[in-house]
Structure 1
Amino acid sequence: MGSFFILRCFLLFFFFFNGAFVTKGNIWSRTEMVEMNGYGEQKLSSVIITGSLLCGTSRPNLHSIAIPGATVAIKCKTGSKRRSKWIKAVTDELGEFEIDLPSQLHPIPDLENACFIKPIYVPKPYRCYHTSTNIHKRIKLVSSTNGFRVYTSGKIRLSRS
Protein backbone atom coordinates (compact mmCIF):
# COMPACT_ATOMS: atom_id res chain seq x y z
CA MET A 1 0.00 0.00 0.00
CA GLY A 2 2.79 2.41 0.94
CA SER A 3 4.75 1.89 -2.27
CA PHE A 4 1.60 2.47 -4.35
CA PHE A 5 1.05 5.80 -2.56
CA ILE A 6 4.65 6.88 -3.26
CA LEU A 7 4.35 5.91 -6.92
CA ARG A 8 1.09 7.84 -7.25
CA CYS A 9 2.64 10.93 -5.64
CA PHE A 10 5.63 10.72 -7.97
CA LEU A 11 3.40 10.46 -11.05
CA LEU A 12 1.28 13.40 -9.91
CA PHE A 13 4.41 15.47 -9.29
CA PHE A 14 5.84 14.51 -12.68
CA PHE A 15 2.66 15.31 -14.61
CA PHE A 16 1.97 18.48 -12.62
CA PHE A 17 5.35 19.99 -13.43
CA ASN A 18 5.36 18.41 -16.91
CA GLY A 19 9.00 17.37 -16.69
CA ALA A 20 10.23 20.78 -15.45
CA PHE A 21 12.07 21.43 -12.19
CA VAL A 22 12.02 24.67 -10.22
CA THR A 23 15.18 25.80 -8.40
CA LYS A 24 15.49 29.27 -6.85
CA GLY A 25 13.03 30.76 -9.30
CA ASN A 26 14.61 29.08 -12.37
CA ILE A 27 12.73 26.44 -14.30
CA TRP A 28 14.97 23.65 -15.65
CA SER A 29 13.86 21.09 -18.18
CA ARG A 30 14.63 17.41 -17.65
CA THR A 31 17.29 17.56 -20.39
CA GLU A 32 19.05 20.52 -18.78
CA MET A 33 19.02 18.83 -15.34
CA VAL A 34 20.43 15.61 -16.80
CA GLU A 35 23.26 17.46 -18.59
CA MET A 36 24.10 19.58 -15.52
CA ASN A 37 24.46 16.45 -13.40
CA GLY A 38 26.77 14.74 -15.89
CA TYR A 39 24.32 12.09 -17.04
CA GLY A 40 22.66 12.15 -20.38
CA GLU A 41 23.06 11.06 -23.89
CA GLN A 42 26.33 12.87 -24.58
CA LYS A 43 29.35 10.67 -24.00
CA LEU A 44 31.94 11.97 -21.58
CA SER A 45 34.70 10.03 -23.34
CA SER A 46 35.22 8.08 -26.53
CA VAL A 47 37.66 5.30 -27.34
CA ILE A 48 38.06 4.33 -30.98
CA ILE A 49 40.21 1.44 -32.23
CA THR A 50 41.27 1.45 -35.89
CA GLY A 51 43.33 -0.84 -38.08
CA SER A 52 43.45 -2.69 -41.36
CA LEU A 53 43.44 -6.31 -42.44
CA LEU A 54 45.67 -7.37 -45.34
CA CYS A 55 46.31 -10.62 -47.12
CA GLY A 56 50.05 -10.82 -47.82
CA THR A 57 51.97 -12.84 -50.32
CA SER A 58 55.11 -14.92 -49.94
CA ARG A 59 56.69 -13.07 -52.86
CA PRO A 60 58.51 -9.87 -51.85
CA ASN A 61 57.75 -8.06 -55.13
CA LEU A 62 53.95 -8.38 -54.75
CA HIS A 63 51.98 -6.08 -52.49
CA SER A 64 49.50 -7.12 -49.84
CA ILE A 65 45.82 -7.06 -50.75
CA ALA A 66 43.16 -5.37 -48.58
CA ILE A 67 40.48 -7.74 -47.29
CA PRO A 68 37.01 -6.17 -47.47
CA GLY A 69 34.11 -7.83 -45.67
CA ALA A 70 36.27 -9.54 -43.05
CA THR A 71 35.22 -9.53 -39.40
CA VAL A 72 37.64 -8.49 -36.68
CA ALA A 73 36.93 -8.36 -32.96
CA ILE A 74 38.46 -6.88 -29.83
CA LYS A 75 38.43 -8.34 -26.34
CA CYS A 76 39.74 -6.70 -23.16
CA LYS A 77 40.71 -7.88 -19.67
CA THR A 78 38.32 -6.04 -17.37
CA GLY A 79 40.20 -6.49 -14.11
CA SER A 80 37.85 -9.18 -12.89
CA LYS A 81 38.37 -12.85 -13.60
CA ARG A 82 36.36 -12.62 -16.81
CA ARG A 83 37.23 -10.84 -20.05
CA SER A 84 34.84 -8.54 -21.85
CA LYS A 85 32.62 -9.82 -24.63
CA TRP A 86 33.92 -9.70 -28.20
CA ILE A 87 33.17 -6.36 -29.87
CA LYS A 88 33.07 -6.90 -33.63
CA ALA A 89 33.54 -4.78 -36.74
CA VAL A 90 33.55 -5.51 -40.47
CA THR A 91 36.31 -4.19 -42.73
CA ASP A 92 35.41 -1.73 -45.49
CA GLU A 93 36.47 -1.89 -49.15
CA LEU A 94 40.01 -0.80 -48.18
CA GLY A 95 40.29 -3.52 -45.51
CA GLU A 96 40.06 -0.92 -42.72
CA PHE A 97 37.95 -1.19 -39.60
CA GLU A 98 36.87 1.04 -36.74
CA ILE A 99 35.55 -0.10 -33.38
CA ASP A 100 33.88 2.25 -30.90
CA LEU A 101 34.71 0.72 -27.52
CA PRO A 102 31.71 0.59 -25.13
CA SER A 103 31.90 3.14 -22.33
CA GLN A 104 32.10 0.51 -19.58
CA LEU A 105 35.54 -0.47 -20.96
CA HIS A 106 36.93 3.10 -21.10
CA PRO A 107 38.25 3.16 -17.50
CA ILE A 108 40.34 -0.02 -17.88
CA PRO A 109 43.88 0.94 -16.92
CA ASP A 110 46.53 0.30 -19.58
CA LEU A 111 44.22 -0.61 -22.46
CA GLU A 112 47.30 -1.32 -24.61
CA ASN A 113 48.07 -4.41 -22.56
CA ALA A 114 44.49 -5.28 -21.60
CA CYS A 115 42.99 -5.50 -25.12
CA PHE A 116 43.79 -7.41 -28.28
CA ILE A 117 42.38 -7.57 -31.81
CA LYS A 118 41.71 -10.82 -33.61
CA PRO A 119 40.45 -11.56 -37.14
CA ILE A 120 37.55 -13.97 -36.76
CA TYR A 121 36.26 -14.28 -40.34
CA VAL A 122 37.97 -13.85 -43.73
CA PRO A 123 35.88 -14.13 -46.92
CA LYS A 124 36.74 -17.18 -49.05
CA PRO A 125 37.90 -15.28 -52.18
CA TYR A 126 40.96 -14.04 -50.27
CA ARG A 127 42.16 -17.53 -49.28
CA CYS A 128 44.37 -16.29 -46.49
CA TYR A 129 46.03 -18.64 -44.05
CA HIS A 130 43.25 -20.63 -42.38
CA THR A 131 44.71 -20.46 -38.88
CA SER A 132 44.70 -16.67 -39.12
CA THR A 133 42.05 -16.68 -36.40
CA ASN A 134 44.83 -17.56 -33.94
CA ILE A 135 46.49 -14.17 -34.54
CA HIS A 136 46.21 -11.74 -31.62
CA LYS A 137 47.35 -8.17 -32.23
CA ARG A 138 47.88 -5.59 -29.49
CA ILE A 139 46.71 -2.00 -29.80
CA LYS A 140 48.75 1.21 -29.44
CA LEU A 141 47.63 4.67 -28.36
CA VAL A 142 47.78 7.11 -31.29
CA SER A 143 46.15 10.21 -29.80
CA SER A 144 44.40 11.42 -26.67
CA THR A 145 42.66 14.79 -26.40
CA ASN A 146 39.64 16.04 -24.43
CA GLY A 147 38.32 12.60 -23.48
CA PHE A 148 38.74 11.24 -27.00
CA ARG A 149 41.32 8.45 -27.38
CA VAL A 150 42.31 6.71 -30.59
CA TYR A 151 44.18 3.40 -30.61
CA THR A 152 45.38 1.41 -33.60
CA SER A 153 46.26 -2.18 -34.22
CA GLY A 154 48.14 -1.10 -37.33
CA LYS A 155 48.19 -3.45 -40.29
CA ILE A 156 47.25 -7.02 -39.50
CA ARG A 157 48.87 -9.14 -42.21
CA LEU A 158 47.63 -12.62 -42.92
CA SER A 159 49.66 -14.85 -45.19
CA ARG A 160 48.36 -16.57 -48.30
CA SER A 161 48.12 -20.32 -48.33
Structure 2
Amino acid sequence: MQLLLLLLAAVLVAAEPAAAISTMPMELYFSPGELARIAGYGEEPVSTVVVSGQVACELCLCPGSDLLTFELPGAKVEVACETEGPNTQANSVFTATDEFGNFTFHLPSRLHATPSLENACVVKVLQLPPDSACGLRHRPAASYRIRPSSSLSSSADGFRAYTAGVIRLQHGGTPSGECVQVEDRVDK
Protein backbone atom coordinates (compact mmCIF):
# COMPACT_ATOMS: atom_id res chain seq x y z
CA MET A 1 0.00 0.00 0.00
CA GLN A 2 2.84 2.36 0.84
CA LEU A 3 4.38 1.63 -2.50
CA LEU A 4 1.12 2.54 -4.22
CA LEU A 5 0.88 5.84 -2.32
CA LEU A 6 4.49 6.62 -3.10
CA LEU A 7 3.90 5.92 -6.78
CA LEU A 8 0.76 8.09 -6.79
CA ALA A 9 2.65 10.96 -5.13
CA ALA A 10 5.43 10.70 -7.72
CA VAL A 11 2.89 10.90 -10.57
CA LEU A 12 1.24 13.98 -9.03
CA VAL A 13 4.56 15.74 -8.54
CA ALA A 14 5.57 14.95 -12.13
CA ALA A 15 2.21 16.19 -13.47
CA GLU A 16 2.41 19.58 -11.72
CA PRO A 17 5.17 21.07 -13.93
CA ALA A 18 3.38 19.85 -17.07
CA ALA A 19 0.17 21.57 -15.95
CA ALA A 20 2.09 24.72 -15.09
CA ILE A 21 3.76 24.71 -18.50
CA SER A 22 0.47 24.29 -20.36
CA THR A 23 -0.97 27.39 -18.68
CA MET A 24 2.07 29.57 -19.37
CA PRO A 25 1.43 32.34 -21.90
CA MET A 26 2.58 31.96 -25.50
CA GLU A 27 4.81 35.01 -25.05
CA LEU A 28 7.26 32.79 -23.17
CA TYR A 29 7.68 30.50 -26.17
CA PHE A 30 7.46 32.81 -29.18
CA SER A 31 9.08 36.07 -30.21
CA PRO A 32 6.84 39.10 -30.97
CA GLY A 33 7.41 38.54 -34.70
CA GLU A 34 6.39 34.89 -34.46
CA LEU A 35 3.28 35.83 -32.48
CA ALA A 36 2.33 38.37 -35.16
CA ARG A 37 2.79 35.76 -37.88
CA ILE A 38 0.73 33.19 -35.95
CA ALA A 39 -2.06 35.75 -35.48
CA GLY A 40 -2.09 36.47 -39.22
CA TYR A 41 -0.40 39.86 -39.16
CA GLY A 42 2.99 40.96 -40.34
CA GLU A 43 4.87 40.99 -43.59
CA GLU A 44 2.96 38.19 -45.31
CA PRO A 45 -0.67 39.27 -45.82
CA VAL A 46 -3.35 36.66 -45.21
CA SER A 47 -5.70 38.28 -47.73
CA THR A 48 -5.78 41.15 -50.20
CA VAL A 49 -8.72 43.49 -50.76
CA VAL A 50 -8.52 45.94 -53.67
CA VAL A 51 -10.92 48.76 -54.61
CA SER A 52 -10.43 50.39 -58.02
CA GLY A 53 -12.17 52.79 -60.36
CA GLN A 54 -11.73 55.84 -62.56
CA VAL A 55 -12.59 59.52 -62.23
CA ALA A 56 -13.68 61.20 -65.47
CA CYS A 57 -15.01 64.61 -66.43
CA GLU A 58 -17.95 65.10 -68.80
CA LEU A 59 -17.93 68.41 -70.60
CA CYS A 60 -20.68 69.80 -72.81
CA LEU A 61 -19.67 73.05 -74.48
CA CYS A 62 -23.18 74.00 -75.67
CA PRO A 63 -26.57 72.32 -76.21
CA GLY A 64 -26.42 69.96 -79.18
CA SER A 65 -22.63 69.57 -79.12
CA ASP A 66 -20.82 66.31 -78.49
CA LEU A 67 -20.42 65.24 -74.89
CA LEU A 68 -16.69 65.17 -74.23
CA THR A 69 -15.38 62.75 -71.63
CA PHE A 70 -11.79 62.80 -70.39
CA GLU A 71 -9.90 61.37 -67.46
CA LEU A 72 -8.97 63.39 -64.38
CA PRO A 73 -5.41 62.75 -63.21
CA GLY A 74 -4.41 63.99 -59.77
CA ALA A 75 -7.87 63.87 -58.16
CA LYS A 76 -7.81 63.03 -54.43
CA VAL A 77 -10.01 60.00 -53.72
CA GLU A 78 -11.04 58.29 -50.48
CA VAL A 79 -12.48 54.92 -49.55
CA ALA A 80 -14.45 55.27 -46.31
CA CYS A 81 -15.84 52.24 -44.50
CA GLU A 82 -18.37 52.19 -41.70
CA THR A 83 -17.19 49.84 -38.99
CA GLU A 84 -17.88 49.47 -35.32
CA GLY A 85 -15.70 51.67 -33.17
CA PRO A 86 -15.10 55.33 -32.51
CA ASN A 87 -12.10 55.96 -34.79
CA THR A 88 -13.61 56.76 -38.19
CA GLN A 89 -10.33 58.19 -39.53
CA ALA A 90 -8.76 54.74 -39.16
CA ASN A 91 -11.47 53.39 -41.48
CA SER A 92 -10.50 55.65 -44.39
CA VAL A 93 -7.80 55.29 -47.03
CA PHE A 94 -6.67 58.04 -49.42
CA THR A 95 -4.96 58.10 -52.81
CA ALA A 96 -4.71 60.19 -55.97
CA THR A 97 -5.70 59.17 -59.49
CA ASP A 98 -2.92 58.34 -61.95
CA GLU A 99 -2.35 59.98 -65.35
CA PHE A 100 -5.36 58.08 -66.78
CA GLY A 101 -7.72 59.01 -63.94
CA ASN A 102 -7.53 55.51 -62.47
CA PHE A 103 -7.20 54.73 -58.78
CA THR A 104 -6.49 51.54 -56.87
CA PHE A 105 -6.68 51.08 -53.12
CA HIS A 106 -5.18 48.16 -51.24
CA LEU A 107 -7.33 48.20 -48.12
CA PRO A 108 -5.45 47.75 -44.84
CA SER A 109 -5.90 44.41 -43.07
CA ARG A 110 -7.98 46.02 -40.31
CA LEU A 111 -10.79 46.46 -42.89
CA HIS A 112 -10.61 43.00 -44.50
CA ALA A 113 -13.06 41.40 -42.05
CA THR A 114 -15.68 44.14 -42.48
CA PRO A 115 -18.99 42.36 -43.13
CA SER A 116 -20.64 43.17 -46.48
CA LEU A 117 -17.81 45.39 -47.64
CA GLU A 118 -19.87 46.55 -50.62
CA ASN A 119 -22.48 47.96 -48.22
CA ALA A 120 -20.05 49.32 -45.63
CA CYS A 121 -17.58 51.13 -47.91
CA VAL A 122 -17.99 54.02 -50.35
CA VAL A 123 -15.66 55.98 -52.61
CA LYS A 124 -15.58 59.78 -52.42
CA VAL A 125 -13.85 62.28 -54.70
CA LEU A 126 -12.47 64.83 -52.25
CA GLN A 127 -10.50 67.21 -54.42
CA LEU A 128 -9.85 67.84 -58.10
CA PRO A 129 -6.70 69.27 -59.68
CA PRO A 130 -6.74 73.10 -59.77
CA ASP A 131 -6.74 73.17 -63.58
CA SER A 132 -9.74 70.82 -63.89
CA ALA A 133 -12.67 71.85 -66.12
CA CYS A 134 -14.97 69.84 -63.88
CA GLY A 135 -15.99 70.72 -60.40
CA LEU A 136 -17.35 69.14 -57.26
CA ARG A 137 -19.91 71.93 -56.87
CA HIS A 138 -22.81 69.91 -58.19
CA ARG A 139 -22.31 67.03 -55.74
CA PRO A 140 -19.99 67.95 -52.91
CA ALA A 141 -18.81 64.93 -50.91
CA ALA A 142 -20.95 62.56 -52.99
CA SER A 143 -20.52 58.89 -52.16
CA TYR A 144 -20.22 56.19 -54.80
CA ARG A 145 -20.99 52.58 -53.89
CA ILE A 146 -18.54 49.79 -54.60
CA ARG A 147 -19.49 46.40 -55.99
CA PRO A 148 -17.60 43.14 -56.47
CA SER A 149 -15.47 43.31 -59.60
CA SER A 150 -16.47 40.91 -62.34
CA SER A 151 -13.12 41.16 -64.11
CA LEU A 152 -11.30 39.15 -61.46
CA SER A 153 -12.51 36.08 -59.66
CA SER A 154 -13.28 37.38 -56.21
CA SER A 155 -12.28 35.43 -53.10
CA ALA A 156 -9.74 33.32 -55.01
CA ASP A 157 -6.66 32.68 -52.90
CA GLY A 158 -7.70 35.34 -50.38
CA PHE A 159 -7.96 38.03 -53.08
CA ARG A 160 -11.12 40.13 -53.30
CA ALA A 161 -11.62 42.89 -55.85
CA TYR A 162 -14.23 45.66 -55.81
CA THR A 163 -14.89 48.51 -58.22
CA ALA A 164 -16.56 51.88 -58.08
CA GLY A 165 -16.69 51.91 -61.89
CA VAL A 166 -16.28 55.22 -63.70
CA ILE A 167 -17.18 58.21 -61.55
CA ARG A 168 -18.41 60.82 -64.02
CA LEU A 169 -18.23 64.41 -62.83
CA GLN A 170 -19.71 67.20 -64.92
CA HIS A 171 -18.72 70.70 -65.84
CA GLY A 172 -21.06 73.19 -64.18
CA GLY A 173 -22.15 74.77 -67.49
CA THR A 174 -24.49 72.99 -69.90
CA PRO A 175 -26.16 69.84 -68.48
CA SER A 176 -24.90 66.66 -70.15
CA GLY A 177 -28.48 65.67 -71.03
CA GLU A 178 -28.57 68.50 -73.60
CA CYS A 179 -25.50 67.18 -75.40
CA VAL A 180 -25.30 64.62 -78.18
CA GLN A 181 -24.14 61.35 -76.69
CA VAL A 182 -21.59 59.43 -78.75
CA GLU A 183 -23.87 56.36 -78.68
CA ASP A 184 -26.77 58.47 -80.05
CA ARG A 185 -24.66 59.73 -82.94
CA VAL A 186 -23.39 56.25 -83.88
CA ASP A 187 -26.82 54.59 -83.78
CA LYS A 188 -28.44 57.03 -86.23
Q: Is the 8 A contact 2:91 2:111 kept in 1?
A: no
Shift, 1:81, TM fit: 5.5
**1:103–1:127 distance in 2 versus 1, CA, 3 Å:** same
Larger-Rg structure: 2
Do residues 69 (structure 1) and 69 (structure 2) align? no
Provide the residue aligned with 2:51 in structure 1: 49
Q: Distance in 2 between matches of 1:35 and 1:55?
A: 44
- Aligned residue runs from structure 1 range 89-108, under 5 A: 89-108=95-114
- Aligned residue runs from structure 1 range 118-129, under 5 A: 118-129=124-135
> Could you state the TM-score of these two structures normalised by the residue count of structure 2?
0.62
**1:34–1:82 distance in 2 versus 1, CA, 3 Å:** closer
How many pairs were matched up?
135
Provide the residue aligned with 2:161 in structure 1: 150
CA RMSD of the aligned region, Å? 2.7
Q: Output the amino acid matched with 2:79.
A: I
Structure 1 segments, 4+ long, off by >4 Å, are: 29-39
Q: What secondary structure, in the 3-state scheme, does the structure 2 residue paired with 1:68 have?
A: coil
Unaligned runs of at least 5 residues, structure 2: 1-28, 173-188
Q: Distance in 2 between matches of 1:87 and 1:141?
A: 18
Shift, 1:114, TM fit: 0.3
Unaligned runs of at least 5 residues, structure 1: 1-20, 22-28
Q: Distance in 2 between matches of 1:139 and 1:158?
A: 17
Q: What secondary structure, in the 3-state scheme, does the structure 1 residue paired with 2:131 have?
A: helix
Provide the residue aligned with 2:145 in structure 1: 138
**1:40–1:74 distance in 2 versus 1, CA, 3 Å:** closer
Answer 1 or 2: which has greater strand percent. Answer: 1
Provide the residue aligned with 1:25 in structure 2: none
Q: Is the 8 A contact 1:118 1:133 kept in 2?
A: no
Q: Distance in 2 between matches of 1:97 and 1:44?
A: 23
Q: Output the amino acid matched with 2:132.
A: Y
Shift, 1:127, TM fit: 2.6
Shift, 1:40, TM fit: 3.6
Deviations 1:20-60 (A, max 9, x none): x9xxxxxxx99788756745410001111000000112367
